[in-house]
A and B are shown apart, each in its own frame.
Chain A
Amino acid sequence: MKQKVLENVRDLISLFKDGQKILVGGFGISGTPLTIIDLIAESGVKGLHIVSNNLGDYGMGLHQLFIRGQIEKAIGSFFTINREAVVAWSKGELLIDLLPQGTLAEAIRCGGAGIGGFYTKTAVGTELAKGKEERVIDGERYIFEKAIKGDIAIIRAKKADKLGNLIYHMTARNFNPMMATAANIVIAEVDEIVDVGEMDPEQIVTPHVYVDYIIQTAYKKEGDQYVKQ
Chain B
Amino acid sequence: MLNNDVRYKIAERIAQELEDGQVVNLGVGIPTLVNAFIENKEVYLQAENGLLGIGPPPTIDQLDIDLINASKEPVTITKGASFFSSADSFAMIRGGHVDVAVLGILQVDTKGQIANWAVPNQPILGVGGAMDLVVGAKKVIGAATLFTKDGTSKIVKKLTYPISGIRSIDLLVTDYAVFSFESGEIHVNEILVDMPIEQLSEKLGITLKWREPVD
Contact = CB atoms under 8 A, between A and B. Distances in A.
A66 interface: no
A29 interface: yes
A105 B130 contact: no
A121 B68 CA distance: 27
A73 B150 CA distance: 38
B125 A89 contact: yes
B51 A171 contact: yes
Most buried by A among B63, B89, B93, B165: B165
Contacts of B123: 86, 89-90
B47 interface: yes
A123 B131 contact: yes
A77 B128 contact: yes
Most buried by A among B74, B84, B125, B129: B125
Given A103-B132, A127-B124, A171-B51, A224 B74 contact: yes
Contact of A102 (B51, B72, B132): B132
B87 A27 contact: no
B91 to A, nearest CB: 8
B127 interface: yes
Contacts of A221: 64-66
Looking at chain B's contact residues, the main secondary structure is loop
B83 interface: yes
Most buried by B among A89, A106, A123, A226: A123
Looking at chain A's contact residues, the main secondary structure is mixed
Interface string B12-33: 0000000000000000000000
Given A98-B125, A171-B49, A177-B85, 8 more contacts: A102-B129, A120-B94, A126-B163, A128-B131, A170-B67, A174-B50, A174-B85, A175-B86
Interface in A110-158: 120-128, 141
Given A102-B132, A120-B94, A174-B49, A168 B83 contact: yes
A171 B90 contact: no
A99 B68 CA distance: 22
Interface of A: 27-31, 53, 77-81, 85-86, 89-90, 96, 98-106, 108-109, 120-128, 141, 168-178, 205, 221, 223-226
25 contacts: A30-B66, A77-B128, A81-B126, A89-B123, A98-B127, A102-B132, A103-B131, A103-B132, A105-B85, A105-B89, A105-B90, A106-B87, A122-B136, A122-B165, A124-B166, A125-B165, A126-B164, A171-B49, A171-B51, A173-B50, A173-B85, A176-B85, A178-B85, A178-B86, A224-B65
Q: Which 6 A-B pairs have the closest CB atoms?
A: A102-B90, A80-B126, A102-B132, A172-B66, A125-B166, A105-B86
A223 B85 contact: no
A96 B126 CA distance: 10
- For chain B, give the interface size range: 35 or more
A198 B74 CA distance: 31
Contacts of B47: 171
Interface string B116-155: 0010000111111111100110000000000000000000
Interface string B157-189: 000001111110000000000000000000000
Nearest to B92: A102
B107 to A, nearest CB: 14
Contact of B65 (A30, A99, A104, A125): A30
A90 B50 CA distance: 32
Contact of A223 (B50, B63, B89): B63
A124 B113 CA distance: 12
Contacts of B94: 102, 120-122
Nearest to A108: B87
Interface string B94-129: 100000000000000000000000100001111111
Nearest to B117: A126
B129 A100 contact: yes
B163 A31 contact: no
A174 B48 CA distance: 9
